[in-house]
Structure formats: C-alpha cells, structure tokens
Amino acid sequence: MSSISRAPSCCDDVPETGTLKVEDARQKILAEIEPITASEKLTLRNALGRVLAEDIISPISVPGHTNSAMDGYALAGISLPQGSDRIYNVIGKSLAGAPFNGSCDTGQCVRIMTGAVMPPGTDTVVMQEHVERLDPDSIRIDDRHHAGQNVRQAGEDIAAGGTVLHSSHTLTPADIGVLSSLGIGEVRVRRRPRVAFFSTGDELRSIGEPLAQGDVYDSNRYSLYGMLKRLSVELLDMGVVRDNAEDLRKAFSEAASMADVVITSGGVSVGEADYIKPILEETGEIHFWKIAMKPGRPLTHGRIGNSLFFGLPGNPVAVMVTFYQFVQPALEFLASSRIKQQLTMMASCSGNIRKRKGRYEFQRGILEQGANGILMVRKTGQQGSGVLMSMSLANCFILLDEDCEGVADGEMVRVQPFVTFV
C-alpha cells in the first residue's frame, strides 16, 4: 500500500477513514442550529412562503351558513317521495348573496343556487338536472333522492375557535386562501434568515469581463442565487473574493456581521490557494470537512461568531449537490424549527450505473413516466463534478447510498425529484 497520504477531493473513488456519512453530517449540521424566533407582522400576500410565528385560531365558521352545493331546489328531506313521484310548489328563490326570506313547508320547495343559504325548513337539494319543470311555480321529482344530499353544512370546512394552522408552518397558496376565507388580513411570521454568499478564486471573472487563459466565469454565484431565491431567505450577494488571506478575512467578518448564514464556494481543498479552512479555523470554529459522498466531498461547515458557515466546494455540480443535501435543510430548519421531509421514490433504471461501496453518490438523472405509469430514470450522461450541464439536463438526483454497489439495467433505484409543489 502507498505511504502517500491523500487529502480528500471530490474526485476520490475510495472512501477514507475519518469521513462522515451523509446522514450523520446532516444531523450534525442540524444539531448546531438555533432556529430564528424574531417575528414581524405581514399582510397575507407578503406572508406567502413565510413561517407562521403564531397559531391561527379561526374567528368564524366556514362556511358561515349551511348552503347549497348545487343549482337546484331546496326542500325538506322528510318530504321526499318514496316509491312514486311528487309535485312541489316553488315558493321563491335563494341566491348566493340574496337568501330567501321565508320558510318552506312540506310540499314546497325553493329555487336555490350554489352557495346560497338553505332556507328554514329545508335540508336537502335536488339538482336542477334531476327535476321536471311543470310550470314556473311547480316541479316534479322522482324517488331517487335522499335527505341531506347536496348541502354543505355550516362549519364543515373550518369550525369557529378551532386551530387552523400551527405556529412554524410555512404558508402555501392554499393557506393564504384559507386565511382570507376567515377574513384574516395579517399574520405574524418569523423573520427570514439572512444569507450572505460569495465565490472565491483568482480565476473567476464576472459576466462582461474578458476571459484570459485559464479564467472561467463565476457560475456558482448564479446557481446559488437561484437555489436561495426559491427559499424564503434574504440574500446578500458579496461577489467574488480573491484567493488571498487578507481579502478572505475581511469578507468573512463582513459577511458574519450581516448574516445568519455565510456560504462560500471554492477554496476548501488543500491546494495552495485553498484558504477557507485555515481562515475559518482562525476567525471562527470548524466542525468537519470530509463527507463520504460524491460529488461534494470537501465540505467545510462551522461558525463565524453567531453565523453558520458553509464552505461549499468549487466545482459547480458539487456546489449544487451540497447545497440541496445540507444547506437547504439547514436553512429550512433555521427558518421554521421544522425538518422538511424530502420526498424520494423508486424508479426503474434505464442502463447500468457503476458504483463502489462506501460513499453516497448523487448522480444526476432524468425521471420520466412511461405510458404504463411506471417511473423510469436514466443518467444525464457525463457525471463529472464540473459538468454543470448534468444538473441542467436533470430533473432528479439518483440516490446511490453508501452500501450500493452499482445498479443494473431495469433494477429499481431511489430518486429524489427536484421539483415539488410548494
């Protein structure tokens, strides 16, 4: 065996001792986090995607009145015919917003529209398609109906005084709809996490600058921006910081003074220009930096003052993989005190995937549903950690855990889709 010791890189094939498993790393990161408790009051539209800082108790019942679920005729269920037809007198109309002001006796009915209040004496609606209109004032119905049909009971959706939404719930489009149905126009939500991020590297150029030999455009700051933008966080884009200790020290302390979370990319390996780890050791606290995964192996996690720090690798795919697997759950927990379950599913693998035991691989896949409804997944081709097109073409991660030793064509494999409803 070689006596040359090897520092971790995102291209490593063989797991080294002292590396952390993906799930353990995630748990360690979450254990470090104290969720934000500060809050503010926001109007409903502005509260979309934000985390409730209070329980919401319903001030009213929804629906407020028992009403019709159909256009038709309201009548008393006990008056329904059995074994024959029956003729009813139409004594008035109840429209949504214009209820019938009277009561309805046996043998009578009220023309009623969807959402209109059920008149006193009625508990059943016969839909208009099931009625024979004899003349403007009378109808005939047969015996195929049952008492209570086509009626929405007061409070059946939400009961007054009940807890509708719990504190620390993230507000969805449905939730702001529910809140508006209760007449609630403002809610108390938690402050959003402030996230400062910058790229590091002497070779990085901004869009618009010419590229000298060996230069690359800074793409990590854009993919990070995109991933962060989808979360409910406040962004502080600090640009590119060059590979020198002085500039990085300054950037670290500036970022930490402004933000709850500091994210960098690049400079976390052990190259000559990789300053992130020593500077974090000097200005803050470092927790670990080796994870048994691919890509994304050299990840630095720690703290600068009160801020959480994530030093993501430089390779563009590794940035995205480590963000989704570690940073996003951390930000969600910081924002809400809740750990969001990431949905995964099984799909049939098209083509073979080679893999060695010992580390977790996040391959980029295209998940499709075949005509028979079965989910199928295939790799996006080149899986190098610098090949950002592999992410661009993908719509899921193919999850190959530590124990997996490759997948054969047609075998079922676990996938994690990128897009879910929010």
Q: Applying CB under 6 A, which of residues 15, 311, 313, 365 lies at the interface with ligand AMP? A: 313
Q: Applying CB under 6 A, which of residues 295, 296, 316, 329 lies at the interface with ligand AMP? A: 316
Binding partner of 117, given ligand AMP, Mg ion, none, CB within 5-8 angstroms per partner class? none
Binding partner of 199, given Mg ion, ligand AMP, none, CB within 5-8 angstroms per partner class? ligand AMP
Residue 370 tokens read as: 């075949």
Q: Evaluate whether 326 touches 299 at the Cβ level (below 8 Å).
A: yes
Q: Among candidates 325, 320, 206, 326, which has minimal Cα distance to 261?
A: 326
Alpha-carbon distance values, 35 to 39, 88, 197, 365 (Å) = 12, 63, 20, 33
Q: How far is the CB of 264 from Mg ion (least distance, A)?
A: 10
- Regarding 150 and contact with ligand AMP (CB under 6 A), the answer is no
Q: How far is the CB of 194 from Mg ion (least distance, A)?
A: 25
Residue 311 tokens read as: 């030093």
Q: Based on CB atoms, which residue is closest to ligand AMP, 112 or 388? A: 388
By CB under 5 A, name the binding residues for Mg ion.
201, 266-267, 314
The radius of gyration computed from the CA coordinates of the chain, to the nearest angstrom, equals 31
Q: Which stretch binds ligand AMP (CB under 6 A): 213-221, 371-379, 392-400, 412-420?
A: 213-221
Q: Based on CB atoms, which residue is closest to Mg ion, 216 or 339? A: 216
- Regarding 203 and contact with ligand AMP (CB under 6 A), the answer is yes
Residue 413 tokens read as: 């494999």
- Regarding 266 and contact with ligand AMP (CB under 6 A), the answer is yes
- Regarding 314 and contact with ligand AMP (CB under 6 A), the answer is yes
Residue of minimal CB distance from ligand AMP? 314
Q: How far is the CB of 192 from ligand AMP (least distance, A)?
A: 25
Peptide bond into 417 cis (omega under 30): no
- Regarding 380 and contact with ligand AMP (CB under 6 A), the answer is no
Pairing relation of β-strands 307-312 and 298-304? antiparallel
- Cα 72 to chain centroid distance, Å, stands at 41
Binding partner of 269, given Mg ion, ligand AMP, none, CB within 5-8 angstroms per partner class? ligand AMP
Q: Based on CB atoms, which residue is closest to ligand AMP, 36 or 317? A: 317
280's CB contacts (< 8 A; 6+ apart) are 252, 286, 300, 302, 304, 309, 311
Q: Which stretch binds ligand AMP (CB under 6 A): 113-121, 260-268, 327-335, 340-348?
A: 260-268
The span from the CA of 318 to the CA of 248, in Å, is 21
- Cα 367 to chain centroid distance, Å, stands at 19
**Which residues partner with 353 through β-bridges?**
407
Burial of 129 (0-12, 13-18, 19+ CB in 10 A): exposed
Residues lying near ligand AMP in the complex (CB under 6 A) are found at 199, 201, 203-204, 216, 218-221, 265-269, 271, 313-316, 386
